A = this chain, B = another copy of it.
């Protein structure tokens, strides 16, 4: 099991990865499954606190670190001081729109990675992202989604 799309029982899945499935951990994992928006810790906490009023940011931080260390979630560093999380651990790229701030997934064919010469180094993780203006913002020509 290496794809989040195959996870139907989160509790079982976390257990299979050696993670004790507490309520908070299940809800955070579920949130990432249902919100493929590459949320920040802030986003996740703000959205889940209505469901779990006692949820603290500390728990969100430690849960995400736990998920990353168990390889079931990956950390995204696109902009300075803005760490985001992605449940899709398969190699893919991201497109960040400078107008609306949204981040889109970009499919990348594995052959592209093979074509890149790594000068004899031993690659383990590939990261690729693009900064630009998304389709919607280009069409609308204004900051429809801006905060």
Among listed A24-32, A42-50, A132-140, interface-contacting one: A132-140
Give the contact-size bracket for chain A: 35 or more
CB pairs A–B below 8 angstroms (5 shown)? A75-B80, A77-B78, A121-B130, A121-B135, A122-B133
Interface flags for A85-116 (1: CB within 8 Å of B; 0: not) read 00000000101011000001011110010011
User: Is A57 an interface residue when CB atoms closer than 8 A count as contact?
Assistant: no
User: Is A145 an interface residue when CB atoms closer than 8 A count as contact?
Assistant: no
User: Is A120 an interface residue when CB atoms closer than 8 A count as contact?
Assistant: yes
Q: How far is the CA of A93 from the CA of B116 in the complex (A)?
A: 9
Q: Say yes or no: B119 contacts A106, CB within 8 Å.
A: yes
Q: Say yes or no: B80 contacts A97, CB within 8 Å.
A: no
Q: Say yes or no: A106 contacts B95, CB within 8 Å.
A: no
- Set B78, B80, B126, B132: member contacting A130, Cβ < 8 A: B126
User: Is A123 an interface residue when CB atoms closer than 8 A count as contact?
Assistant: yes
- Which 6 A/B pairs are nearest by Cβ-Cβ distance? A125-B131, A120-B135, A124-B132, A123-B132, A122-B133, A123-B130
